[in-house]
Structure 1
Amino acid sequence: MKGSTLQFGKYGLRLKSEGIRITAQQLKEADNAIMRYVRPLTNGQLWRRLCTNVAVCIKGNETRMGKGKGGFDHWMVRVPTGKVLFEINGDDLHEKVAREAFRKAGTKLPGVYEFVSLDSLVRVGLHSFKDPKDDPVKNFYDENAKKPSKKYLNVLKSREPQYKLFRGR
């Protein structure tokens, strides 16, 4: 998925839960939390990978139907699962400092977030990508023969000659 890996920095904050909507105010608070923690300790640089692009308009409560959409209220952005929100880099930036800064930023935002570094796996949907080479090869026929299901037993039974007589009716 596009945007699920780091592009500019060494460390990042990635959405782990299902896709959500984040308002501009929430993004600004998370940005302030990161910089408030990182700025005194290092000369780190922060990249914001999101831009609020959806205008939210709201009609007042107990307003009759019709007469337009309502007035502008705030800006928001839709964030899909696995999208990197912030990246950070610095010459003397330690991983523990970045991890703590992103933990504080994650508390300001809705959803569940994870800390990622350059060697982190790609996130595809709600599950982290796993290399298929690491999995042992399974022989499903042998596994079914050891502990067969009812469906598999019916398939084996249908191969007997007495059942072959009644096929195609």
Structure 2
Amino acid sequence: MLMPKKLKYRKQFKGRIKGKATKGNSIEFGEYGLQATQKGKITSRQIEAARIAINRSLRRGGKVFIRIFPHKPITQRPAETRMGKGKGAVEFYVAPIKEGTILYEVRGVSEEKAQEALRLASHKLPVKCKFVRKSQVEGGEE
């Protein structure tokens, strides 16, 4: 499970995800990528489930790069608790995703295999995604 080793503050405000991605919106390491077309939060479990789906589809062929990391803590209060008594304990971590962010990259396989692997991974994620080639998103442009 992905989680930060150390945080300056254990709990964070909820915040809002606004705008389009300006960082992490171009393919840097691979030839093909999975790009988010929606904003949202992806948990560490979902990131891991999608990674496993890609690896199983590629069958040890090619290399997979995970471009997102869950660094935002999400707290939850125990069920049926009365109001007050402070903020709940940290339950899990999420990666806030803006639209246009590259989530995964694949290198060293044919386009058909990469497309199928990333399609399977997109079914594991709560945001809508699309398959992109390096030439399509060169310099962050579509």
**Structure 2 matches for 1:32-71, cutoff 5 A?**
32-40=52-60, 42=61, 44-71=62-89
Q: What is the CA-CA distance between 1:121 and the residue it aligns to?
A: 3.8
Partner of 1:109: 125
Give the structure, 1 or 2, with the largest relative contact order (CA under 8 Å, sep 6 or more).
2
Give 2:58's aligned amino acid. V
51, 56, 61: which one pairs with 1:31?
A: 51
Structure whose residues are more often helix by fraction: 1
The verdict on how the C-alpha distance between 1:57 and 1:114 changes in structure 2, with shifts beyond 3 A counting, is: same
RMSD (Å) for aligned C-alpha atoms: 1.7
The TM-score, its normalising length taken from structure 2, stands at 0.79
Structure 1: unaligned runs, 5 residues or longer:
130-169
Q: What is residue 156 of structure 1 aligned with on the other side?
A: none
**Alignment partners' CA distance in 2, 1:85 and 1:114:** 10
Partners of 2:87 and 2:41 lie apart in 1 by 20
Task: Give how far 1:122 is off.
Answer: 6.2
Runs of 4+ aligned structure 1 residues displaced above 4 Å come to none
> What stretches of structure 2 of length at least 5 have no aligned partner?
1-21
Q: SS where residue 115 of structure 1 aligns? A: strand
**Offset at residue 66 of structure 1 (A):** 1.8
| TM-score normalised by structure 1 residue count | 0.67
Which residue is equivalent to 2:35? 14
Larger radius of gyration: 1
- Aligned equivalents of 2:83, 2:120: Cα separation in 1: 42
Whole-Å Cα distance in 2 between the matches of residues 59 and 75 of structure 1? 15
What is the Cα deviation at residue 123 of structure 1?
Answer: 9.7
Q: Could you tell me the percent identity over the aligned residues?
A: 34
The residue type paired with residue 81 of structure 1 is E
Matches within 5 A, 1:1-169: 1-17=22-38, 19-40=39-60, 42=61, 44-90=62-108, 93-121=109-137, 129=142
Instruction: Tell me the SS of whatever aligns to 1:3.
Output: coil
